[in-house]
Chains A and B, each alone.
Chain A
Amino acid sequence: AKKTKSKDEL
């Protein structure tokens, strides 16, 4: 599975 972290979410 592709894993990416959201940087803009609080």
Chain B
Amino acid sequence: MNIFRLAGDVSHLVAILILLMKIWRSKSCAGISGRSQVLFALVFTTRYLDLFTVYISAYNTVMKVVFLALSYATVYLIYMRFRNSYDSENDTFRVEFLLIPVIGLSFLENYAFTPLEILWTFSIFLESVAIMPQLFMITKTGEAESITTHYLFFLGLYRALYIANWVWRYHTEGFYDQIAIVSGVVQTIFYCDFFYLYVTRGEEIRTPS
């Protein structure tokens, strides 16, 4: 554990909490892509199956359980509790275009050809593209509420901090995780355009039409 890794995890947690609290307090999930949130729940589910097989640390276990619980709570709020406010007409990104290549890639490139390892790889690849339905929705409607942009900022920052963590670990431990690093860099690149708009235009984002 180093400062970049800890800051990355905190940033990830903050992002998820911002989104959950926004939906809970406004009793609305307008402007939020339910499809992206389902993909994130799938990411956590397939990655954290090792909760049942190996014990790493109390921190590791607690964080995994928290991320799983919060991601399912978010999906529940969008599709059940506040489904009247769900903007399904603009949440139309075809997720099969993400899932099919990601499933294929996880079978081709993995650390071991076992169910758990393939699912772990699937989750890493899927995480890198899971935000695309949300970004697509913002492009389609041409706007995002400021609180939604804060969510995206912290979510992007999390993987960017993980990159710093990987650089740090490579230099201090000589350790690197090729699949996670490549996917993490790809994931962060998707946020660059958003980061630019966030910084230059301020919180509320309107895409040029």
Least CB distance, A7 to chain B, in whole angstroms: 6
Beta-carbon contacts under 8 Å, A1-10 to B:
1-10
Least CB distance, A6 to chain B, in whole angstroms: 4
Please report the C-alpha to C-alpha distance between residue A3 and residue B206 in the assembled complex, in whole angstroms. Answer: 42
Kindly count the residue-residue contacts between A and B in the assembled complex, taking CB atoms under 8 Å apart. Answer: 36
The reply to whether A9 and B5 contact each other, CB–CB distance below 8 Å, is: yes
Contacting residue for A4 out of B63, B165, B176, CB 8 A = B176
Q: Which residues of A contact B63 (CB under 8 A)?
A: 10
- Asked if B154 is at the interface (CB within 8 A of a chain A CB), the reply is no
Contacting residue for A10 out of B60, B176, B177, CB 8 A = B60
The reply to whether A10 and B12 contact each other, CB–CB distance below 8 Å, is: yes
Chain B interface category by residue count: 20 to 34
B153-187 near A? 1/0 per residue, CB < 8 Å: 00000000010010000000001111110000000
Shortest Cβ distance from B59 into A: residue: A8
Most chain B beta carbons < 10 A, residue from A6, A7, A10: A10
The reply to whether A9 and B177 contact each other, CB–CB distance below 8 Å, is: yes
Q: Which residues of B contact A9 (CB under 8 A)?
A: 5, 162, 165, 177, 180
Binding site for B on A (CB under 8 A): 1-10
Binding site for A on B (CB under 8 A): 1, 5, 9, 12, 50, 54, 56-57, 60, 63-64, 67, 111, 117, 120, 162, 165, 175-180
The 7 closest A-B pairs by CB, nearest first: A6-B177, A5-B111, A8-B56, A3-B178, A10-B63, A5-B177, A8-B60
